[in-house]
């Protein structure tokens, strides 16, 4: 099994006004975007070409929107990448760029 193209842990994942997990995971692996709980259970996943990732119009820089299977998820990542060797989620901008690059490569 190949290494995931993007992995973020400690991500708050919400849907509308409801929080689904406060320490979830976001992965781009084998051409799919996966949202997982802190226990590794799948919340949602879809082929990377079917996922739309963007920044909210208003709000802090640590948030990203992901449209997966007709559901809009609000992901709270980090405002900036953590220092090397430090724990914490990567920047929201890095997630958005990873989705777009994986879609361009065709998965």
Q: What is the mean pLDDT of each run of 10 residues along the chain (107 residues)?
A: 80 93 93 95 96 88 93 87 72 91 84
End-to-end CA distance of the chain: 15
pLDDT of residue 96: 93
Give the span between the Cα atoms of 38 and 3, in whole angstroms: 19
Cα 19 to Cα 63: distance, rounded to the nearest angstrom: 14
- The reported pLDDT for the residue numbered 88 is 66
Output the pLDDT for position 60: 76
Q: What pLDDT does 83 receive?
A: 74
Minimal CA–CA distance to 35: which of 81, 1, 59, 66?
66
Statement: the pTM of the whole predicted model exceeds 0.75: yes
Instruction: Report the pLDDT value the prediction gives residue 67, as an integer from 0 to 100.
Output: 97
Helices within the chain (DSSP H only): 92-105
């Amino acid at each position: 099994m190949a290494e995931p193209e993007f992995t973020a842990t400690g991500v708050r994942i919400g849907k509308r006004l409801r929080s689904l997990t406060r320490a979830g995971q976001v992965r781009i692996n084998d051409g799919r975007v996966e949202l997982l709980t802190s226990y590794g259970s799948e919340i949602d996943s879809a082929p990377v070409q079917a996922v739309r990732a963007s920044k909210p119009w208003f709000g802090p820089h640590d948030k990203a929107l992901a449209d997966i299977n007709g559901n809009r998820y609000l992901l709270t990542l980090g405002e900036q990448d953590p220092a090397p060797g430090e724990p914490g989620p990567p920047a929201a901008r890095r997630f958005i760029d990873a989705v777009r690059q994986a879609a361009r490569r065709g998965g």
